Structure 1
């Protein structure tokens, strides 16, 4: 009877994405999935491709007083939260107009399937250097 309860407890509390070997515990982490990448063979590659497409189609170059495009470099620190929403932590760059345009573009990112750690939704952080 004791063995039955011991084995039942072990199987009931086992996690799919956690592996234990000796004294080492490995927890698998999966990246967020961009809408349309669910059936992709390489979800990370698809995520990067969709992100770059999003930047190309949604970034609006700001203009100066002469009507010329303002270009610049920015570093974006953001994360995809447990619900799949994009949260902007910081946007640093040399031109405030470019920073504002990048923040506006990031607000238009779609809701995604959240990343997981150990089979449970978790936030996944990203740092994106952009040269616009």
Structure 2
């Protein structure tokens, strides 16, 4: 019975240790944050507010729309746009421009090695 208990503890400890070996990308300024994911989301929201430029149509009116952007933070911490889905091409182009302005960051890791992470975010501009 003791052996079974020891083996179970070792297996459960190993599973917990394996899960703890994955980290999220770290946005500049979030290095000392207690919650890197929350800080990442706050910095992304701030980035959108400060960097999205509403396109205008031929009549000079702002164009609005919904868009879903898929991007990755690669192994080097650089942002790569993977896909943009939206009905209006002007909004899609403005969203891509804004995402491409995300600063380089510390990449996420898996088992201690840099690892690319994908994100899909819906926006309503």
TM-score range, shorter chain: 0.7 to 0.9
Question: Unaligned stretches of 5+ in structure 1?
Answer: 1-19
- Residues in 2 aligned to 1:102 and 1:109: alpha-carbon distance in whole angstroms: 11
What is the aligned counterpart of 2:25 among 15, 29, 32? 32
Tell me the SS of whatever aligns to 1:90.
Answer: strand
Unpaired stretches in structure 2, ≥5 consecutive residues = 1-9
Q: How big is the shift at 1:29?
A: 1.5
Matched, 1:113 2:106: yes
> Which TM-score applies when normalising by structure 2?
0.85
Question: How much is the aligned-residue C-alpha RMSD, in angstroms?
Answer: 1.4
For residue 11 of structure 2, what is the aligned residue in structure 1? 21
Tell me which of 60, 73, 76 is aligned to 1:67. 60
How far did residue 115 of structure 1 move? 0.2
Q: TM-score, normalised by structure 1?
A: 0.80
Deviations 1:42-79 (A, max 9, x none): 11110000001001100000011111110001111111
Higher helix share: 2
Equivalent residue for 1:77, pick from 63, 70, 79: 70
The number of equivalent residue pairs is 112
- The CA deviation at 1:96 is 0.1
Runs of 4 or more, structure 1, over 2 Å off, are 24-28
